[in-house]
Amino acid sequence: MSVHLKHILLSSNNLKKTCEFFTKGLGFSLVVCTDTFAELLLVESTSTTTRKTTSKTTQIFNTNNTSTSSVTLAVQQKILEEDRSNNSTDTNISLNFEVSDVDHAVKQLLELGGTLDGPIQFTSDKSKTVEKIAAMTTMDGHSIGLFEPKERKNE
């Protein structure tokens, strides 16, 4: 049996603001948006010479040795009265993103209604892959992790 993750589904109090948060703040593309549902897509192309299989992304390989990973984020407008009155920030989901500049991403997401959950953290010298880490919360209470990779100089 083959299993593939189709999308990540989030509930939103304000569909338009949530779509703006992910498109303007993190570079997602808006695929479809209705009054009650939106689908956003994040596509990243990287050079590669090997095939990679992951359970969380779809891998598409082309002939010039680059791979394209895509993640689909589905957002559903909350419709029940009890959902609208429940502004709990407790969540079981944390969306984690690698970004090229944590400071810039945090600034954009704050302007779009996100909140920073503590200061931006700098990793110790022992970490070989991550330079900075930031934890944020969206206006709907979803946790967002931002990770800035260290520059790799011909290791």
Distance, in Å, from the CA atom of 13 to the CA atom of 154, rounded to the nearest integer, reads: 46
84: part of which helix (H) or strand (E)? helix 81-85
Single-letter amino acid code for the residue at 79: I
Distance, in Å, from the CA atom of 142 to the CA atom of 117, rounded to the nearest integer, reads: 12
pLDDT along the chain (155 residues), means of 10: 73 94 95 91 65 42 58 83 49 80 95 96 70 92 89 54
The pLDDT assigned to 56 comes to 41
CA-based nearest residue to 32, from 17, 19, 13:
19
Residue 136: count of CB within 10 angstroms of its CB = 21
The string of DSSP letters for 16-56 reads: HHHHHHHHHHH-PEEEEE-SSEEEEEEEEEEE-SS----SS
The pLDDT assigned to 53 comes to 41
In eight-state DSSP terms, residue 100 is: S
The pLDDT assigned to 38 comes to 93
In eight-state DSSP terms, residue 124 is: P
The pLDDT assigned to 40 comes to 94
The pLDDT assigned to 55 comes to 43
Q: How many CA atoms lie within 13 A of 45 on its CB side?
A: 5
The pLDDT assigned to 82 comes to 45
